Amino acid sequence: MKKKQIIFIMTDTQRTDMLGCYGNSAMVTPNLDRLAAEGIRYDKAYTTQPVCQPARSAIFTGSYPHSCAGWSNCMGLSDNVQSIGQRLSDAGIHTAYVGKWHLDGGDYFGLGRCPKGWDEDYWYDMKCFLDELTPEERYRIRQIESIEKYNMTEDMTYGHRCADRAVDFIEKHKDEDYFLVMSLDEPHGPHICPKKYVDLYKDYEIPVKENMKDTLEDKPEHHRIWAGDEYLKACCEDFKLSPKEFLGCNTFADYEIGRVLDAAAQYEEEPIIIYTSDHGDMMYGHSLTGKGPALYEEITHIPLMIKGFGKGVDKNPVSHINLAPTIFDMFGVPIPKMFEGRSIFEEVKNPEVRCNDYVFMEFGRYEVDHDGFGGYQPLRGAFDGRYKMVINLMTSDELYDLQEDPQEMKNLINEPGYDEIRKRLHEAILDNMYNTRDPFRGYYWEDRPWHHITEYKTWDSRLMTRQRENEEYEPRQLDYGTGLPMTSAVRKKGQSDAKFAGKKRMILSLQGCMGVGKTTALQYIEKNVPDVHISWEENRHVIEEVKRRALQKTKYEDYLEIQKLWLANEVKRYEKAQLWECTMMDFGAEEIEFYTLNYPKTIGLDWNVENPLKKELDAVRACMPQRILFFRCLRGNFKKAERNGQYPFKGIL
């Protein structure tokens, strides 16, 4: 059977015009150019936020930065946010992450600590890299003059060591389903790479574009403040833009990526390859440098290529928010309801489908550890494939026609004749803020100088509920109006799920000896009887906790602790089961009780466990199902009955 393998490659601060395949013939990027020719190149791909951590948070959680709490550098993700590594690992996919993580908060280099779900043997954030170096080596690899002064070699770079580990993983796990991430820090500053790559660009000057001379007269005030001493620097006669180290580091990153592509190409069944970058760099566009509170093309328009499900150029707008559902779609794993984007794969399967009507972008602040880069500058934007609108909450807003004005020189926000376009994009931004429960949403996003609200509006605005659709890894939220578990998230306060309160629930526990066909029967019911929910035993976190604490069943005190974990887990499962009218359980509370009380006897130990566990056992006993079905049906007999439409629960269900 064909293996499902995906290699996800990401660089840092790589603009589209730093690649030959995106039109810059001066750039030496043969490996990524080859990838573009062999797969689909996306011409209108955008980051969710042009800052390292927020961009990565959207990619690796499937949620916008404002949703997963990754809206600024130096902020760790919320405890209730699961990475795609955890989710895919739980689905049986071997997941490994090699390279820059930048999602654990605080330190740029990371903590050297592998998050849940990823293979610890391959975890290699920048802290792991630094731990391999002497203090002197650490200093050298962070100083740009080291390129020539110390004749920097490939093996002293982070990118090379990341590629080494990625190649090793590909070779050793070629027979497995896997998801491998290689996340390079390159070409992010300090642009460290061997001198031969820098020398490729020693005589090259980047052409001065029109928007490098932007006077910023019709732009938001904070852009003029951000420009500072660089304001109109490109207008000077002696201005030259020749960042040879940065350009050389782009080519070096391409070389290391090529090593990984070559390793993947050795096998008849090649893995799917996804490549992107987190964001770009202003490089004097609009007199600005670096990245910050703006949504200009230089920092939001990013390269994206996918090899493995088609060839050509896709000109529809796509976003980093689409990548997580795309990865799950390609693996055939159900897409979690918490993901806030659609799969790009839908467009491939059906060319008539458009993945996005709009792509949404945002900015909160650059970094919480200091007030540089403007501090808190909230903005939200939308792009429909031609027009881009940006709402700058604290300053003036922007509207650009990228078809007629690709360098975003003319701000159309106050121009007559654009009322309908402005209104449509504005409503799209507001809808996305509300649909994703943007914690920064509020009255003044709606009340703009060009869109004054004439009638009185309350602070409740659209009366959105505090409830959200539940994360699969969390207990079900309770409805505000009834205190009972929600059956679905509601949009407005006061619309509680009244039907739930009077609904009668039935829980059935299926029992029988091992091998009699219980699992087969339940799998059939789950697939063919939509009104019945199947509650499968969910014990992974219990097993992990037992391992973490090194608890042993043969030790009395340890056994009590283990059973407390199991019993609490069963109570939670029963509570979830009450959400549906009819739930069937493969392993019921009664079995947990029996096992707890009788296991010691099976190994010859006369332990008193009922009294020490009375509280926990009473909680489990309160969860006994209304009905227990004793079942005996061999697999062959069940399959025969299934074919005849005579499965064993027909009379009950």
Q: Which residues are catalytic?
A: 52, 102
Q: What amino acid occupies position 503?
A: K
Angle, nearest 10°, between helix axes 323-331 and 52-61?
Answer: 30
369-375 CB contacts, 8 Å cutoff, 24+ apart: 369/73, 369/74, 369/106, 373/226, 373/290, 373/292, 373/293, 374/222, 374/225, 374/226, 374/292, 374/293
**439: which residues sit within 8 A by CB, 6+ positions away?**
66
What is the CB neighbour count within 10 angstroms for residue 188? 23
Main-chain phi, psi angles of 14, to 5 degrees: -110, 110
| Strand 94-99 with 178-183, pairing | parallel
CA proximity to 261, closest of 565, 11, 35, 566: 35
Kind and range of the H or E element at 391?
Answer: strand 387-392
Gap between the Cα atoms of 506 and 584, Å rounded:
9
Gap between the Cα atoms of 361 and 141, Å rounded:
33
- Work out the end-to-end distance of the chain between its first and last CA atoms, rounded to an integer number of angstroms: 36
At residue 364's C-alpha, the angle toward residues 450 and 416, to 5°, is: 15
Gap between the Cα atoms of 520 and 175, Å rounded:
27
At residue 239's C-alpha, the angle toward residues 238 and 244, to 5°, is: 120
